[in-house]
């Protein structure tokens, strides 16, 4: 499964990674310690707020929030 990093556009910290499932749908796997909010938006999108206050929109299938133990993976 291919992975791409997903970063804040202001402070450049990695907020999570994007993976694709077997059907080719993008999933965003966020690191809980690096975000302050996740707000569902229109269908198949969410607004993610970094700890620095910058907001970024993810357009994909689903957003998952993972604990600190998963950051090293």
pLDDT 10s digits, 17-30: 999 999 999 999 99
Averaged pLDDT, 38-57: 93
Band of pLDDT at residue 73, cut at 50, 70 and 90: very low
**3-state class of 73 per DSSP?**
coil
CA distances from 65 to 28, 34 (A): 8, 10
| pTM of the complete model beyond 0.95 | no
Band of pLDDT at residue 55, cut at 50, 70 and 90: very high
Q: What is the pLDDT of residue 70?
A: 47
Q: What is the dihedral of CA 61, 57, 13, 18, to 10 degrees?
A: 20
**Contact by Cβ (8 Å): 13, 7:** yes
Q: What is the pLDDT of residue 69?
A: 54
């Amino acid at each position: 499964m291919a992975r791409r990093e997903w970063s804040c556009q202001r402070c450049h910290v990695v907020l999570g990674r994007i993976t694709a499932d077997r059907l080719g749908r993008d999933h965003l796997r966020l690191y809980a310690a690096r975000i302050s909010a996740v707000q569902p938006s229109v269908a198949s999108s969410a607004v993610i707020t970094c700890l620095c206050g910058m907001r970024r929109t993810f357009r994909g299938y689903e957003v998952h929030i993972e604990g600190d133990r998963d950051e090293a993976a």
